[in-house]
Chain A
Amino acid sequence: MGELNKLKVIGTPVPKHDGKIRASGKAVYGHDIKLKDMLYGAILRTEHPCATIEKIDISKALKLKGVECIITAKDIDVNNIGYKRDHPILKSNEVNCERDEIAAVAAQTKEIAIKALQLIKVKYKVKKGIFDPFEALDLNSPKINSFNSGKFDNKNIAEVFKYSHGNIEEEKSKSKVHIKRRFTLPRVTHACLGTSNISAQYDKISGKLLLYSSTQVPFLYQRDMAHALKMNPSDIRVIQPVIGGGFGSKLDMYPFEPICALLSIKTGKPVQIIYSRKEEFLASPTRQPMIIDISCGADKNGSFTYRDIKIIKDNGAYTSWGATTPFVIMQAFSSLYKVAACNFEATAVYTNNVFAGSFRGYGNPQATFALERMIDLLADELKMSKSEIRLKNANFKGEITGQGLHYDTCGHKECLETVINKSNFNKSTKKSKEGRYKKGIGLASMLHVGGGAKIYRSDGCGTTVKIDPYGYCTVISGSNEIGQGSETVLAMIASEELGISLEKIKIINTDTDIKPWDVGVHASRTSFVAGNSLLGAINLLKIKLNKKAKELLDSKNDDFNYENGCIIDNTEDKSINLDKVVREMHFSEPNELAIASYFYEPSSQFQDKEFKGNVSGSYAFASQAIEVEVDTYTGNVNILNVYVAQDVGKVLNPLLLDGQIHGGILQGIGYAVSEEMIYKNGILQNPNFHNYKLLTASDIPQIHFFPIETNDKQGPYGAKGVGEAPLIPTAAAIANAVCDALEVEFLELPLTPERVLKAFNNKKKLIHEF
């Protein structure tokens, strides 16, 4: 690895590798794929969120000209899907949520497919659904998911996570103040601009299935698809087209994907399914809604003593990876700021709501919101400043937390100090009693994995790197690009290490038949894990190149520099073109390729049954101070300034980093003040951008970003994962700021104008009898 102080490419604002093709409209997304004789698939979903299916009549639809195939549950031989295998691909006896798939059509045009759906008649016996997880927990409530394994003592519990460290009772007795609250978090969605899509091409002759899929986890997906379809995983080839947004939504495989494959298998023709925007709102996953009960305390000096947390998560009707978000949630509660004792229990409960999936931050925005609100309340109770209490309890380098996380580097305190100083946090809280606009400022931090997360047997990534006889480099990486910029970072690393200019570097990362194993894009892991993997491969390749260069240069040296397409022996002032070395390797004895492969597995541990262990190769920290102005006439929260300090380890590319910060913060602001999926008896009321208030470019506030470089020796050049962090503390900081501005308390998100106005008026007893 190049010496940190001599870096030429790393740390520079290299524009995104795929920026030009995306900006010019030339990128080939899944929506742009056209295959010979391709059919168009469409899915019939239930009309009722909870019902028994009495009859499905497809006869009229089958007669429609242009319809080639219709499938229902009885036509397919498949396994259930989902993390708990509790999710039938097509539903036959009962439907349990608004998304449920009953039949699927493949037709010659999209219009015919949609018309055919309208001709399918389903007879339902409508049942009263259960949309409140507490009602589902009532012992008299019926069992919602008939495939529930029954592992837990309540038939509607899908999953339970329990964790503890320290002695809660002892810590309670040491505490001067205790606070107890219940927080309610909404359901929000990723709102990817590229809607869900898949094209499936089954070859009847070879028995092989080719999928053009937007998955974030191609190798896990290959295995899940094979399980669902009862196929051999390696007979399924997954190719990723350009992906129009992931944010965690493509971590699970959903029914529409095996449905598309089944339509192709039945017809022998390629089939494509593309969601409309409405379908995307209805049928793509969401963030987990949850109810967090938390009590916590601090001693007279302001040291945190204990945290006791009980969470009820609305699992929806089926279980996705989202049910495992407590892995991350418990980390925030056990290990963000020092805390002597922690009890944690999270229960995922089946309901007739739609099921949630994974979403950037993976439970952490919810946890951080609850935790950071509580810290403000503790500070108020202790009459301590909100900055002081945080600084006092901040995490530190060398800390091993109660959960067993090792902070080899830790920028928490520096992040806090930076945003406190830059935002003038301690001086900016002069309140005006009168006047329409009230200013406030809020502070929040976050902890997230920054070096992958060992939640599968391997958290590794493979890379093959090749140099051709013309001096160009090809990197075949197991990792993939979902818009986050991993291709650019990998190309920068190759350029830095091999002295090859960026335009001569090609990244191959879209085809499971070619690329080596990788877990996938999640846990902010790609730059860290795939970056280290590439560095490992380059080191192996350099051993071969150095050997040949030494021979050709007749050099005594074993260590060479790679610059401007040359291999240089500085001590003897000799150099040779890299492409010439490669040609000599190829064409002279012993005739070998300039190619090397490496598998990088982070040093992290798989956690034990008590969820203890050092689960990540490094940990990222961030603090945000956010200044707001609340309009007490309308309840609108205007975000004035966002001060962000984030421990990124090392800035690999300031341009891409800025992009992650801006995007994450805007997503966090949406979570704080505007985004909410509104349901009425299990039916989504706002499946459109008109009424689902995704923020836009004009809502971006002033963002003041201060990267904190802690140079973690585990990371490539010292870098840590940065992708998820920017949105995690944003809602917490905004809620703290609004509470500060109005001197009222909020226990739920989002802080919509109506909620804010109502809270302000209640406090001022300003309610007019309108």
Chain B
Amino acid sequence: MNFNIEIPHSIDELVLTLNKFKNKNYRIGAGCTDLLMELKNNSASNLTIINISQVDDFNFNNVKLSNGNVDIGANTTAFKICENENILENYKTLHEAALNLASAQIRQVATIGGNICTASPSGDLICALMALKAQLYIKNSLGENREISILDFYKGVRKTDLKHGEFLSHLSLNSNNKNAFKTKSGFIKIGTRKSMECSVVSLAYHIQIDKKGNIIETGLAFGASAPIVKYATRACDFLIGKKIDSLSKTEIDTFAKLVVEYASPIDDIRATAWYRKQVLFNISKSILEKNIEK
């Protein structure tokens, strides 16, 4: 490992730094929990790490309420997400995804922006944020802003829509539907160990239900079973208008099959494609089966 480090201390400095390095070989690092591992294996020459962990900006480093929505700065650690009561109450899937991320030590430094931009096919926070249809806000080296839905952000294995010279500043979660009486929201992570684990299959769901028990809004995404984290549109649409408490076994099976249709896993050292699909099917069913709520 041999690299230079730039340490901006404010968003303005970060923009200037990116401007200075936009034509050079650089990587942005926050918690660096993935980046360091990567650098150990490939030591590129003339590399600069732009270490954004020292950027002193409240909005960049924290969760805050904004007109009913929740804004989360890109530099917010997984630990802060776990601790946030608003997220626990309204977006349980994200809370659980953060809580199951790696280990207590890693959660202290790993950031939500890092998880989103690393674009791992098994990214736990990505999975939850897709189920919540998060909106991403991006800044470039001239200080200009743009936004994009997380559902459109991923372009391939570890490829995102982020251009050279851009960085993720924050993301926003819409408030739950005003007619939602309750939400069924959670994150299921399948692996061998109870911590320090990379998902073999993961599933995030956020289902909003009105007073009469009708499903009014749905979001469901899964990880580690395709080149990118996948949003299961047809499975989500299938549930709309149905009553949560009177789904038949056939309907639940159909729903689970619709989820699996989006999967295209490979055999690798952690599991076979067969296992991933079978488990994805089973856990998709489990979220609608009674008495199995987490």
Contact = CB atoms under 8 A, between A and B. Distances in A.
B192 A768 contact: no
A633 B286 contact: yes
B273 A770 contact: yes
Interface residues of B, number: 27
Contact of B283 (A634, A691, A695, A696): A634
Given A754-B275, A768-B281, A770-B281, A634 B190 contact: yes
Contacts, number: 65
Contact of A768 (B196, B278, B283, B286): B278
A673 interface: yes
B260 interface: yes
A220 B193 CA distance: 38
Interface stretch (A187-195, A300-308, A682-690, A702-710): A682-690
Contacts of B198: 690
Nearest to B1: A111
Nearest to B270: A691
Interface in B184-215: 190, 192-196, 198, 200
A392 interface: no
Interface string B253-294: 000000010000000011111110111011101100100100
B248 interface: no
A674 B193 contact: yes
Contacts of B273: 770
A436 B288 CA distance: 13
Interface in B147-198: 190, 192-196, 198
Contacts of B270: 691
Interface residues of A, number: 27
B192 A696 contact: no
A227 to B, nearest CB: 38
Given A436-B286, A685-B269, A754-B272, A699 B278 contact: no
B275 A753 contact: yes
A761 B278 contact: yes
B275 A696 contact: no
Main DSSP-derived SS at the A contact region? loop
Interface string A165-197: 000000000000000000000000000000000
A14 interface: no
B103 interface: yes
Interface string A427-465: 000000000100000000000000000000000000000
Nearest to A673: B192
A267 interface: no
B269 A695 contact: no
A269 to B, nearest CB: 26
B279 A698 contact: no
A634 B279 CA distance: 6
A696 B190 contact: no
A770 B193 contact: no
Given A693-B193, A695-B193, A757 B269 contact: no
A770 B192 contact: no
Given A633-B282, A690-B198, A753-B192, A770 B260 contact: yes
A683 to B, nearest CB: 12
Given A633-B283, A685-B269, A754-B272, A770 B195 contact: no
Given A634-B279, A770-B278, A686 B269 contact: yes
Given A436-B292, A753-B190, A770-B260, A696 B281 contact: no
B278 A674 contact: no
Interface in B219-234: none
A696 B260 contact: no
Contacts of B194: 696, 698-699
Contact of B282 (A634, A686, A699, A752): A634
Contacts of A758: 275
A636 interface: yes
Contacts of A400: none
Contacts of A678: 269
A560 B198 CA distance: 63
Contact of B190 (A636, A686, A698): A636
A693 B191 CA distance: 10
Contacts of A690: 198
B196 A696 contact: yes
Q: Which 9 A-B pairs have the closest CB atoms?
A: A770-B277, A633-B282, A698-B195, A698-B194, A754-B275, A693-B192, A674-B192, A699-B194, A691-B269
Given A436-B286, A686-B269, A698-B195, 8 more contacts: A633-B282, A634-B283, A636-B190, A673-B192, A696-B194, A699-B193, A753-B200, A770-B278
5 contacts: A633-B285, A633-B286, A753-B271, A757-B279, A770-B277
